[in-house]
Structure 1
């Protein structure tokens, strides 16, 4: 008995779990790289000058610098490759709602509007769970979506899930 081929998930809308995993990886990278950058800059500043980066205004400047770094990380990554490092590791890509690659303007709008998805207890992110195409508020505004994309390799569903879907398809009446 031959087994039917496994179904591919490439090009399908990415779900909440994979998007959350990618966001967690990106969050850790953003915070970690920022911390290393600040520590390195502080070390160099203290070594070559008598100045320090810790003073009364450092918290506001630090927050602004962190926001600029986070925006730059996401914007530049998406503008160049259509994915951040976290999305790449999770096999996700940001595309326009018609499936084409987003332009710089689209990526800029998506990145700029992202904080609105997080505000108000993450209601804008809840749309990922309830919306048919799993699009968050910032995706709707920028007219983008996140899909599974492993590049040249095909992402396949596990064998038992593929078998179940193949049986369900063969049991359904043909139109």
Structure 2
């Protein structure tokens, strides 16, 4: 998947909790390592220059995301919203062209959701990404997406502009509720 330029995050955050935030992001850079297993084991040859470059790149991504100040903390000690940002940073470290986000706003409070929407919007531009978003939070989707495909029980219900989706009777019935959008 990574070799095809695709990265993903998971609905349930999957970080290495025993690692620091920086180390978690560096995992995403692993395929770019330019040293041998022997060099890594013995800390010789290309190991140190490659590790310095990886740390610098990971720190740059953390700065872009706005969480560089957490770089040396264990990932498990961060808030849920910041753990989600670490997961996105690790995905960005793979230099994807397509980023798959599975329910990124699930479990977040309104402030975290708003911050995440702004981050994803900015990352799309800054990293020249296409984003495939799977999400049930329609206001969140509305802030991020121009085009949507709405599924109901795995079958297409609507495909088109977000502005049209929120007016479509079947979408309203399935996801939005008559009281909110009628």
Give the TM-score, by structure 1 length. 0.34
Greater share of residues in strand: 2
For the pair shown, which has the larger CA radius of gyration, 1 or 2? Answer: 1
Give the TM-score, by structure 2 length. 0.33
